[in-house]
Structure 1
Amino acid sequence: MTLTEVGSVPEAEVREGLSCERDLAAAAWAITENGSLAAGISGRESRLPRELGPLDASGIDGLVELIRGGGDPLGEAFARIRPADQRRLLGATYTPPEIVSAMVDWVAGRGELSRVVDPGTGSGRFLLAAGRACPQASLVGVEIDPLAALVARANLTAVGFDTRSQIVVGDYRTAALDGCGGTTAFLGNPPYVRHHQIDPAAKRWLADSAARLGLHASGLAGLHAHFLVATALYARCGDLGSFVTSAEWLDVNYGQLLRELVASRLGGVSVHVVDPAASPFSDAATTAAVTCFEVGTTSKVIRMKRVPDTDALGALDGGRRLDRQRLLGAARWTPLLNGTPKPPAGYVELGELCRVHRGAVTGANKTWITDALDPALPSSVLAPAVTRARELFDAPDATLHTTLGLLAVIDLPADLDVFDSADRALVDRFLREARRQGIPSGYVARHRSPWWSVRLRDPAPILATYMARRPPAFVRNKAAARHINVAHGIYPREPLTEATLDALAVALCAAAPTAVGRTYAGGLVKFEPSEMARIHIPAPEMLKAMAA
């Protein structure tokens, strides 16, 4: 391939020539076919189109110019052509250059590397940057999408890294990675796919693999957790790495597996959490945490740091020094970034006075929520309930005075023999229709016995929203409405007078703007019950004085 003079082909013309997957595959192959990586092309890649569309030879030369200049026109075209909802099925979110640069600089600065492995290569952004920073290292990319894999081959070929590169088309969890005589750096952005889209066989793999490491895996873990477990199995003492993932594993229950991996087996060195408001990924509403690790480290601390945006990642050093053993025992890591403030004098945590419980999960709201006066069911099973957070945000004077206007949850008892014949006939008809819709086979219904009993909690004196881009709303529930999992119920551990409950609700409303939950991308704040229980409120004596 002979390059034209730089700038001889307008950049816009080159980019516009890639308008569909056929054109992208053909262009990628045109770059790859004369390089070393063409020999190892997989069967799935070989079936992709190879006939050039709008781009001629000069257009291909223009693409090579852009790639050699540090651009990623093929990867950008892939992200533009393949709709975001389709890319999301495989967790394909392409990493901004400032994140790539910080992570590559960190691994390159740890000493000479023999190999760099990117578990979810995409267009090869991490491998290209690592190839420039580590000229002695071999480059291995694992990618399950054949079109993305072909794009990575093209990019590596364009910059002349093809002779020291290998692209494996397949699943990283089961990839046959050959041994390496020196240090391997694991580097990349593991795919982010939620557990709902992960098949049972893959979840069994996670459970079995975690058990090999002496750890327990939750079935709620996302695909990025699978990749970190696979890395822990592949890595050897002295290997190192840097991964950018969603930051939610720092705090959620399923993240216990990753917290233990980072604090122990993987040898975490640092965790840098990007402020969620920064929206680090342009094509995905997710948070970001960059985790650096060195297997076999003897350091007793892990550094943690919050940065305002991706430009502030810097050298991925610095931050608060946290004892490794303390992190192993912590249920959440985010509060440790700034420490957990103690209640001021005269105040206590809400959890000392009340229990906080999330509302029941129906498993199929379209089936279990109906009109409060639905004539097709006995009135005794229609429980007026808060089913939308908006009903709490819009409550006048932060008080729910009546259930008028609320929908009802169908709250059937476990024992259906309590109904008389007329009501039983209505219930049986409802259950036949639910069976016809497949409701008993749903995830939630399968895990409750009997499947038709939602088991709403008793009315909570105070209800609270727990996820929004605004502080939580605390509402006195004087209407005795029930609630589902759009709200938390706050239940006093000991009986409180109505006036004291009113004072508590007022105090919670006052504390809401400064309450600290877990923040997701775009400023979405979520409070788990345990986090809401840590809100500071006046001590009981002060509440009683406020109520007097």
Structure 2
Amino acid sequence: MTDLPILFASEKELISAALQLGALDVGHGLSEAEKRLAASSAKQRVSAKRVALLRDSILSGNDPLGEGFSSIRSAETRRSDGATYTPEGIVQSMVQWAANNSSPSRVVDPGVGSGRFLSAAGRAFPNAQLVGIDVDPVATLMARANLCVNGYAKRAKIILGDFRNFTERTAGQTLYIGNPPYVRHHQIDAVWKDWLAQRAAELKLPASKLAGLHVYFFLATALEAEKKDVGAFVTASEWLDVNYGSLVRSLMLGELGGKNITVIEPTAQPFPDAATTAAITTFEIGAEPKTVSFQRVDDLASLGKLGSGRRIRRDRLATEKRWSHLTRVAERPPEGYVELGELCRVHRGTVTGANGVWIAGEHSAGLPDSVLFPTITRAREVFNSGGLLKDPDLLRQAIDLPTDLDELSVSDRKRVESFLKVAKSMGAHSGYVARNRKAWWSIGLREAAPIISTYMARRPPGFALNKAGARHINIAHGLYPRDPMNEKLKRALVSYLQHNISQKSGRTYAGGLTKFEPREMERVIVPSPELLTSGVCL
């Protein structure tokens, strides 16, 4: 983004540069945390020449402070904090959408970072108050400096704090715009998970405590925004499909008033530090448009005008459990080709809830063979199979007990009950999955699938003919032919899938992992059985 080489040796030097660029002149003074950082960085003075170069770069539309921060603090650390900064092309596209659809008296960026969105919004809305919120004092100091250099100090307010606590109201329209932090649920405190459930309940909506932090920001916006306020957020796209994303989907059809969803493929690097599929979501509070538009782009140059794309009726969206497939233009198979779903049903593997318990090991010694099943438990078992799983002895075994233990013989039941005491001591009965099963001890493995595929990896999925009779847990999918397939046809199908399916057909998450949900895999285009067995398509 910048034409200036990154020369900051440390965060202290970066902070000093921000202070010299005018961070102190923005808003109502620094917070205590910002003051401490400023005091500790006082000795790291940056030369006047360097400050002048930084100022010129900022005035040219660059963000040398943000890029310096991204260079000093590792990508891994910033991802864990949700501090992934947004490329200029996405920022400009979102601000342009806002300029075409609103006249805000206030612009709020809930995760301001170095101030990229507010700087662009300051140019687009010359009379609007600019409010930025962030939990990182280094980020707020950078945002202050960028806003000051751009001439927005008098109408800017930077808050060191959590957007979920933001309750300031204003007369006139507010634009909520930015890149809410992406933090997985494991790193979210229990008190905030309770907040999510309680505040969602106020809207009579269910909320999952497995939700990532970006979901909280959608909810906080829906709760605090006023009718006619507008918004544009860019986030990871997973909320479009995963169960915990149902809250955002409901908000988009309700309180948020969803207008448009644009999915950006990871090849476009919407988040430079993470190979992730992104989604730009626009909304108008209280609006009830008859349709929501969906589009998908492969590169930032194709981003174009937000709001275009395929229009989907809201009543249909209300019945769809997953939305990402709606961004894809239906691909008409060429002559002689069909969707994989016409040949096979695709089913995700069993969720055990506690692999350490339900995959056999020393803790399960003594269990009868009748409850032990060779099972695909690692993706590499499929990847390394060469397309053919044939030796069950190379696989670990999953423990699948009957729901009714009376089905067991007297001797087998004693051995099982002895194991269940161990399983209980390991907490197997108390997890969410176990508590929602008919019997906590019965994981319910599916019948062995004739073809096994991987579910998630940093590469295209792997496929294997399952001659080992292996079951599969949720690291894999099972392909079950709708009509009987002979061995020649199954082998030909596996061979085609192994060599012709790309990552692009799935969804890519933070860290570069690509997932293929069952319905996404069923939409993959494959040759008809006649072409497969003829060999002309391989």
Q: Does the TM-score normalized on the shorter chain lie above 0.5?
A: yes
Contact 1:355 1:493 in 2 (8 A): yes
**What is the identity, as a one-letter code, of the residue corresponding to 1:205?**
W
**Would you say 1:110 and 2:101 are equivalent positions?**
yes
Q: Which residue pairs with 1:479 in the alignment?
A: 468
Change (3 A) 1:450 1:303: closer
- Report the Cα distance in structure 2 between the residues aligned to 1:399 and 1:154, rounded to whole angstroms: 60
* Residue aligning to 1:142: 133
Please tell me whether residue 177 in structure 1 is matched to residue 168 in structure 2: yes
Q: Distance in 2 between matches of 1:544 and 1:34?
A: 73
Q: Which residue of 1 aligns with 2:304?
A: 314
Name which of 373, 379, 403 aligns with 2:392.
Answer: 403
Go from structure 1 to structure 2 and tell me whether the alpha carbon gap of 1:441 and 1:72 turns closer, same or farther (over 3 Å shift): farther
Aligned to 1:35: 25
Displacement of 1:335: 2.5
Matched, 1:65 2:56: yes
The SS at the match of 2:318 is helix
Query: Is contact 1:403–1:481 with CA below 8 Å preserved after alignment?
Result: yes
What is the CA-CA distance between 1:190 and the residue it aligns to? 0.7
Superposed displacement of residue 136, structure 1: 0.6
What is the CA–CA distance in structure 2 between the aligned matches of 1:459 and 1:122, rounded to whole Å?
A: 49
Alignment-derived partner of residue 295 in structure 1: 285
Aligned counterpart, 2:321? 331
Mapped partners of 1:169, 1:132: distance in 2: 23
AA aligned to 1:324 is R
- For residue 83 of structure 1, what is the aligned residue in structure 2? 74
Could you say what secondary structure the match of 1:109 adopts? helix
Q: State the one-letter code of the partner of 2:265.
A: D
Q: CA RMSD in A?
A: 3.9
Q: Which moved more, 1:294-303 or 1:340-349?
A: 340-349
Superposition map of 1:203-214 within 5 A: 203-214=193-204
**Alignment map for 1:265-304 (pairs within 5 Å):** 265-297=255-287, 299-304=289-294
- Partner-residue secondary structure (3-state), 1:384: strand
For the structure 1 residues 23 and 452, does the alpha-carbon distance in structure 2 shift closer, same or farther, using more than 3 Å as the test?
A: farther
TM-score (norm 1): 0.81
* CA separation of 1:124 and 1:461: change in aligned 2, threshold 3 A: same
- Higher deviation after alignment, 41-50 or 405-414: 405-414
Residue aligning to 1:519: 507
Matches within 5 A, 1:66-465: 66-178=57-169, 180-297=170-287, 299-340=289-330, 356-365=346-355, 368-369=358-359, 376-378=365-367, 380=369, 382-396=372-386, 398-411=387-400, 424=415, 454-465=443-454
After superposition, the Cα gap between the structure-2 partners of 1:449 and 1:46, relative to the gap in structure 1 and judged at 3 Å, is farther
Q: CA deviation at 1:87?
A: 2.0
In 2: Cα distance, 1:335 partner to 1:492 partner: 23
Using the aligned pairs only, state the percent identity. 48
Deviation string, structure 1 residues 8-57 (Cα, Å, up to 9, x no partner): xx955xx42x32233333333344465143x4322222222424344345
Q: Offset at 1:150? A: 2.0
User: Contact 1:476 / 1:502 at 8 angstroms: preserved in 2?
Assistant: no
Contact conserved, 1:356 with 1:533, CA < 8 A, in 2? yes
| Alignment CA distance shift 1:425-1:162 (3 Å) | same
Letter in 2 for 1:503: L
Alpha-carbon shift at residue 123 of structure 1 (Å): 0.9
1:176-206 deviation per Cα after TM superposition (whole angstroms, max 9, x unaligned): 222x221111110011112232233222222
Q: Which residue in the other structure is 1:503 paired with?
A: 489
538 and 98 in structure 1: CA distance in 2 versus 1, 3 angstrom threshold = closer
CA distance in 2 between counterparts of 1:252 and 1:443 reads 17
Task: Provide the residue aligned with 2:456 in structure 1.
Answer: 467
Aligned residue in 1 for 2:478:
489
Aligned partner of 2:31: which letter? S
Conserved in 1, the CA contact under 8 Å of 2:463 and 2:497?
no
CA offsets, 1:68-117, max 9 Å, x none? Answer: 33222222222222222322233111111111111112212334321100
Partner residue in 2 for 1:7? none
Aligned equivalents of 1:159 and 1:215: distance in 2?
A: 42
How far is the alpha carbon of 1:539 from its aligned partner? 9.5
- Report the Cα offset of residue 313 of structure 1: 1.6
Indicate how the Cα distance of structure 1 residues 517 and 256 shifts in structure 2: closer, same or farther if over 3 A, else same: farther
Number of residue pairs aligned between Structure 1 and Structure 2: 525
Native 8 Å contact 1:463 1:476 kept in 2: yes
C-alpha contact (below 8 Å) 1:500/1:544 kept by paired residues: no
Indicate how the Cα distance of structure 1 residues 342 and 265 shifts in structure 2: closer, same or farther if over 3 A, else same.
farther
User: Is the Cα contact below 8 Å between 1:113 and 1:185 reproduced in 2?
Assistant: yes
2:266–2:275 CA contact under 8 A, matched in 1: no
Cα shift at 1:529? 2.9
1:493–1:201 distance in 2 versus 1, CA, 3 Å? farther
Asked if 1 retains the 8 angstrom alpha-carbon contact of 2:275 and 2:512, the reply is: no
SS of the aligned residue for 2:393 comes to: coil
Amino acid at match of 2:109: D
Q: Separation in 2 of the partners of 1:182 and 1:116?
A: 11
Aligned to 2:394, what secondary structure does the other structure show? Answer: coil
Task: From the superposition, tell whether residues 505 and 223 of structure 1 become closer, same or farther in structure 2 (CA, over 3 Å).
Answer: farther
> 3-state DSSP class of the match of 2:107?
strand
The 2-side partners of 1:349 and 1:34 are apart by: 60
Distance 1:367 1:27, change over 3 A: farther
Asked whether the 8 Å contact 1:462–1:490 carries over to 2, the reply is yes
CA distance 1:440–1:30, change in 2 (3 Å): farther
**Using the alignment, how far apart are the partners of 1:163 and 1:384 within structure 2?**
68
Task: Find the residue that maps to 2:275 and give its secondary structure.
Answer: coil
Shift of 1:451: 6.1
Shift of 1:410: 4.8
User: Structure 1: how far apart are the matches of 2:528 and 2:61?
Assistant: 60
Amino acid at match of 1:129: A
Do the aligned residues in 2 keep the contact of 1:274 with 1:308 (CA within 8 Å)?
yes
Gaps of 5+ in 1: 1-9
Q: Whole-Å Cα distance in 2 between the matches of residues 407 and 303 of structure 1?
A: 46
Q: Which residue of 2 aligns with 1:5?
A: none
The residue matched to 1:385 in structure 2 has which SS? Answer: strand
Partner SS state of residue 322, structure 2: coil
**Whole-Å Cα distance in 2 between the matches of residues 288 and 191 of structure 1?**
13
User: What is the CA deviation profile of residues 384-408 of structure 1, one whole-angstrom value per residue up to 9, with x for unaligned ones?
Assistant: 2222223223435x43222132233
